[in-house]
Structure 1
Amino acid sequence: MATTSSSPDRIATLDIVRGVAVMGILAMNIVAFAMPVGAYMNPMAYGSETSLDLAAYAFNFILIDGKMRGLFSFLFGASMLLVIEKAEAKGLNSASVHYRRMLVLLLFGAMHFYLIWFGDILFGYALIGMVAWFFRNMAPRKLIALGATLIFLQFLIMASFAYSAQGLSVAASQPGASADTVAAWKEMSLWVRVPSSVELAEQMGRALGPWTSLVHYQLTEHRWEPLIFSLTFGPETLGYMLFGMAALKSGFFAGSWDEQSYTRVAVRGFLIGIPIYLVIVSLIFLDGFSPVGLFWLAMVATVLVRPIMIVAVAALIIILTDQGGWLVERIAAAGRAAFTNYLGTSILMTGLFYGWGLGLFGELSRAELWLVVIAAWVVMLAWSKPWLERFEYGPLEWLWRSLSRGSLQPMRKPALPAVV
């Protein structure tokens, strides 16, 4: 069932799934670009005025939130292993090749976080990718077993976090609670609760202020956040990368399984995952989007079922794109230029919503943001294929490759000879 590729050294299925993943990531990140931080997990925090907005939240929660990021992590592990294997096949020092790539990616991630947008994932990918190197030679079954163990560890970490949050919430609500306790709860729950008018004004002012103020805020108030985030979600991220390596070794990401096998994976995954997610999102609505409820339901209850959904989504993508076509070719091109599309999207979205650009922060509802998402998808699909018909790599892929190798890499494709 493998799909052909325009380049003999690429696996087209990887590019296609990566293209869908980088497009899907924006569908969830758009809320964090366009609204105060609490709105990402709590629709009551901002931007939900109609039932359509709440439906958009539920749709994203069930099918997109965490699945596209997880799929991107799977693909990162698979692509990382592919680079290592190609380096070894050429007789190169694969460790040197790998760690130079990760160090350059670490630099890109830091620049992304401090200079462009707080939602960076590249810094963590680089750090965890350095650890994933040590598991490159494991058999698929062992990779899956170790990955599952890491996912369970992530579940325990998030459960411990939610338990602490619940205790702090109770302590902060008691009569005579200390100012430090109340402040600690406000800080801990900032990402999941409705902001106060003062907090909302601060966030709006910061987003709509000058770019230099945003950079200063990141460098002073959140200087350690990339490292903290990487450590907090490290087990899950590493587990996903190991799953991706196993998927490549088993032929799943190569598109070499038969259609019945992919269908079986997709159907079983969705039959397990979707009902559980429906129950979770229903409980969130019934609970009234309370901060403690969101900690337990959105951050803990989803950890163990999310990998099942990710694999099902990947299988469905492979099934639906098996026959190729003009749209699939453009999605594959977007996947080949995923690094450029990911960072380019951050620049485009912050330019659209932040004060240094058009300043639309807080202006659109959750449902209206889908219009922006679709427009950005059109841009990704429109530029990637024509560019890659003329050049070997996307712009930032070329820069990453050149910096990793310490020399400028050939960019433009050689002209094809004329046919008489």
Structure 2
Amino acid sequence: MHDDITPAPIPVHASSTRSNAEIAQPVRMRMPSLDLLRGIAVLGILLVNIYSFALPEMVRVEPLFLPDYNAREQLLWYLIYFFADGKFIALLSLAFGASLWFFAHDKASLSLSRLNQLQRRRSLSLLGLGAAHAYLLWDGDVLVTYALFSFLVWRWRVWSDNRLIAVALCLFALQTLLYGSLLLMPADAWQSISDMFNEQALQQELAHYQQGWWQQTPQRISKAFEMQLATVFGGWFPASMMLIGVVLARRGVFSGSTLVSPTNLWGISLGAASLMLLVVLLNRSQGFVSQFALTLGIQLQMCASGLMAIVYALWICRWAQCGNLSHIGAWLRAALVAVGRMALTIYLMQTLIFTGLFYGYGLGWFGQWPLSQLLLLILAVWLCQMIFAFFWLRYCHAGPVETIWRRMIYR
């Protein structure tokens, strides 16, 4: 089902040796390590998206607003903050950048104009799917961000590794400066932000998500549009991770031809975890006040999250190459690979499940479940989605949404 290959570098321009009609087919080359990474990432982001699906979003910034504020709930909040918040979206960005490179490699025999045409269709159709997702279902969509930055990453993918790394660092620095510029805001602006984190705002958000779908629509559209505009401000970090994903793919990390030694990997892991621990301690010492959390706090967290995402990717690639697995371990890995192969379907399915359970046009449980119960629900959804993906791909080549996406691309 999968071909484990070591890709050769993509030529900047290749002429067709076969007809475009023969070659311009959906991707046949599968990279199990990349599918595994993408599967883990798309499941992992649910740990953070749950703050928008089932809890007031201010809970993500301030644990004080947890429905049950006790030691157990606080511990779970800190574990998510330490291991998941910002990490899995960065991991998904790595996978997205790598997938752009593999797509170009798979179509290397096409003319450059035909290749660019197919990629434009990929990006535009993903943009359409993301916009529909954001405006019709959930304003926290990330597909629009990925689609917009894919145009830049696609053009830059042919640059040398050193140049891509340098550009990624520049984009990261730009993102850091943009967050740092918030310090220039006047005191009354910070006061208005702080006023958003109070009991009255909490009750307003609870009331909003208890409404029906049509009643939620104006605010959902407004917030989705604001988030898409904010991509210009806050989308440079995922873009930088996409470029790192291109470099990792080109260096054979996802094909298994390049693996970091366990000793070096443990050292990098310790460094990234230490930086993240510093972020937690600093935010806690500052009481998670917005003026710190949204400037220096988020800058440090972004740096730690990027490092931890790379560490996660390297460990996942080692696991993908591991041959001595128990039956449960082998099934788990195969199921996660299946999730990665239909990550778009899984991502949108999570929105349907959780908005159906927690929003007013569903069961209306928004803001009522403690974090501990939500994590148990997430585990159950993960298991169901892994079983669904595993058995779906035994009978179909791609997920249902992936099939629609391919039809939009290849017509």
Question: If the TM-score is normalised by the length of the shorter chain, which range does it land in?
Answer: 0.7 to 0.9
1:306 and 1:264 map into 2 onto residues whose CA distance is 21
Distance 2:50 2:179 in 1: 24
What's the counterpart of residue 199 of structure 2?
196
Q: Which moved more, 1:30-39 or 1:17-26?
A: 30-39
In 2, Cα distance between equivalents of 1:353 and 1:200 = 16
**Offset, 1:91:** 4.6
RMSD: 2.1
Stretches of structure 1 that go unaligned for 5 or more consecutive residues are: 173-180, 407-420
Cα 1:264/1:146, change in 2 over 3 Å: farther
Query: Is the partner of 2:295 in helix, strand or coil?
Result: helix
- Deviation of 1:243 after TM superposition, in Å, equals 0.5
Counterpart of 2:117 in structure 1 is 96
Report what 2:239 is aligned to.
Answer: 238
Are the counterparts in 2 of residues 124 and 229 from structure 1 also a CA contact under 8 Å? no
Give the Å deviation of 1:225.
1.5
1:125 aligns with 2:146: yes
Distance 1:146 1:268, change over 3 A: farther
State how far apart, in whole Å, the 2-side matches of 1:57 and 1:139 are: 41
Residue 19 (str. 1) matches residue 48 (str. 2): no
The answer for the alignment partner of 1:83 in structure 2 is 103
Q: Percent identity?
A: 28
SS of residue paired to 2:371: coil
The match for 1:134 among 139, 142, 155 is: 155
Shift of 1:90: 4.4
Q: Which residue of 2 aligns with 1:253?
A: 254
Closer/same/farther in 2, CA of residues 223 and 308 from structure 1, 3 Å limit: closer
2:410 is equivalent to residue 405 of structure 1: yes
Give a deviation string over 1:152-183, Cα, whole Å, max 9, x none: 1111111112x13xx53xx33xxxxxxxx5xx
Query: Does the 8 Å contact 2:253/2:317 carry over to 1?
Result: no
**In the alignment, structure 1 residue 215 sits paired with structure 2 residue 217:** yes
Assess if the C-alpha contact under 8 Å between 1:73 and 1:241 holds in 2: yes
Specify the SS of the correspondent of 1:94.
helix
- Are residues 1:152 and 2:173 paired? yes
**Cα distance in 1, alignment partners of residues 179 and 68 from structure 2:** 27
Query: CA separation in 1, counterparts of 2:83 and 2:191?
Result: 30
Within 2, Cα distance between the matches of 1:298 and 1:380? 34
CA distance in 1: counterparts of 2:224 and 2:92, whole angstroms: 25
State whether residues 101 and 250 of structure 2, in contact with CA within 8 Å, keep that contact through their aligned partners in structure 1: no
CA distance in 1 between counterparts of 2:95 and 2:218 reads 33
Deviation at 1:47? 2.9
Moved over 4 A (4+): 2-5
The reply to whether residue 394 of structure 1 matches residue 399 of structure 2 is yes
Measure the CA separation in 1 of the matches of 2:97 and 2:73.
34
Please tell me the residue identity of whatever aligns with 2:240: G
Unaligned runs of 5+ in 2: 6-26
In 2: Cα distance, 1:306 partner to 1:380 partner: 26
Map 1:324-403 → 2, pairs under 5 A: 325-403=330-408
SS in structure 2 at match of 1:89: coil
